[in-house]
Amino acid sequence: MAKSQSIIQEFPFWFTQRAESRLIFLYGEERTKDLMNRLLDRMQHFSVPKAQPLPEYWNEQDVILITYGDNIRQTDAKPLATLYEFSLLHLKDCINSIHVLPYFPFSSDDGFAVIDYKTVDPQLGDWRDIERIAQDFSLMTDLVINHVSRENLWFIDYLSHKKPACDYFIELPENTDVSSVVRPRSTPVLVPAHTHQGVRYVWATFGEDQIDVNFANPDVLFEFIDILLLYIEKGSRFIRLDAVAFLWKKLDTRCINLRETHEVVKLLRDIVDLIAPDTVLITETNVPNGENLSYFGNSDEAHMVYQFTLPPLLLHALYQGNSDYLTRWAKDMPRPQKNCTYLNFIASHDGIGLRPAEGILPEQEVKVLVDAMHEYGGYVSTRTGLDGRPAPYEINIALFDALKGTSLGLDQWQIQRFICAHTIMISLQGIPAIYINSLIATANDYHGVEQSGKTRSINRHKWEYSELMDLLNNPHSPNAIIFHEFKRLLSIRRRQAAFHPDSAQETLSASPALFSFWRTSPDHRQRILVVSNITPQRQTMTLPNHPRPEGSGLWRDLIERTAINKNTAELILYPYQTAWLEALD
């Protein structure tokens, strides 16, 4: 029997059939036999699990912390060790997962221009530090799959015309028409590279130090499969596919969300489903809502997609004191397919994306919001639209400062408004992710912007451990008030089956001053009515009919730990108060 046939027989038929069909679509039938052998060779050292039921990917206890490896630093320890210590001492009871943003050697963009995918940045620590975090928390790792740093050895080999990496990049004439390409930036698509053969122009979606790789070359695909397998071996449970929507390029198309891109994601899903079935793939696609949801495929693509539309809509609702657009969007959101869910967030290392609000928020509403964020000390980055004109792309601001006021002006409700925003976020269907600089109520970092020259640095503050602990130990500081309230809310949330990611969600049409929805546990034993007052005025809500009128009919507010009789017609909510009303028998 031929060696290739014996290798194939070691793998389940469903896997070889799917992988083969995807490779045929991507690279053609003639090349697929050899490509299949290469793929299976790479996977052979993994123990292929026997057929078994899929594990439960997630439950109500899952909460993710988003952080750089060095967001908290101290002089006598490596930052990854400090992160582990802080998380273990202060977060273990309320957060079980940590997304460590790119922890590899890099040249720019705070980690997203990767020099070496297989090495931990020695300024942060080493693989032992990463594996230690992965032992006590579910670890999320970025697979920066669209581009590499100019200092990456692949690109160095391209400049020197060395095989195989000299064929890893997209080289085009300088005057190539790329006007149909959808842009996330205002920089040129093609940037000069000074090679040993003279000046060449290469594709760079995000900027001249982030050179796109060419997935039309299958060698590139296999490089990233190797990297994916390494991250799984090192303990990563969540794999975040960074900027994946831009992965495949074809001239005379928009070069975003192409079918080839979806097929690559599906192939990666096939691989993890086989060798590590508890691994979760997450697509990071900062695009309009419908395009974002397409990365679920037919339950055969991403396990999770980022809820990119939530941050601008929730910020808008709290600024205007009006939930109409947020409610309309939430009502229209489909329930995720089997083994799929949303990753909910309202702040991250990046800004608040505006493209995901396209078609939902009118342009005038976006303009008003952008102008307000300027007044609150923020910046707005732009991209080049298809008409060649600059268009707002994202708001760069610390979320704590973004919520310091409303359309009525600055007020005394910043802390309450900030807590309200996060309480809504952690209540929605999906898994919540909280950015570390939101968890500790960090304000705009203008010094960081001045040092880096990048507006995104406004929300990427680095804390000295001792300074941070002084603030968190001061019960009167906004940092401590918010930090401890977030921990309390998360601890309550993690005990409620109705907040399981698979729990149903039904959005209600209440007053524009309120945002409300039901969450019902998968076994229907628990129902929670979430009601948030998104205004600085006291509001009342007529309670809906109790779902269990034959019982006691009591409502219990899980946040305030109070009971409400079913005969009480109205719920009173103070400014920015949220109630989690559990319907009791």
Q: Which residues are documented as binding site for substrate?
A: 109, 147, 240-242, 349-350, 456
Which residues, including other chains, have CB under 8 Å from residue 542's CB and lie 6 or more apart? 569, 570, 571
Determine contact, residues 243/206, Cβ cutoff 8 Å: yes
Per-residue DSSP letters for 373-404?
HHHTT-EEEEEE-TTSSEEEEEEES-HHHHTS
CA–CA dist 221, 167 (Å, integer): 12
Binding site members: 109, 147, 240-242, 349-350, 456
Q: Where are the alpha helices (DSSP H) in 405-454?
A: 414-427, 436-439, 446-452
Helix, coil or strand: residue 210? strand
Q: Is 142 designated active site?
A: no
Check residue 213 and report its DSSP letter. B
Reduce the DSSP state of residue 144 to 3 states and report it.
Answer: strand
Angle between helices 414-427 and 310-320 (to 10 degrees): 140
CA distance 156 to 145: 18
Peptide bond into 536 cis (omega under 30): no
Residue 369 near residue 334 (C-beta atoms within 8 A): no
Cα(585)–Cα(350) distance, integer angstroms: 44
Cα–Cα distance for residue pair 469/482, rounded to 1 Å: 14
Alpha carbons 27 and 19: distance in angstroms, whole number: 12
Select which of 70, 142, 209, 242 is catalytic: 242
380 phi, psi to nearest 5 deg: -130, 120
Task: Output the CA torsion 468→471→475→479 (10° steps).
Answer: -80
Q: For the CA atoms of 199, 205, 208, 214, what is the dihedral angle to 10 degrees? A: -50
Residues labelled catalytic: 242
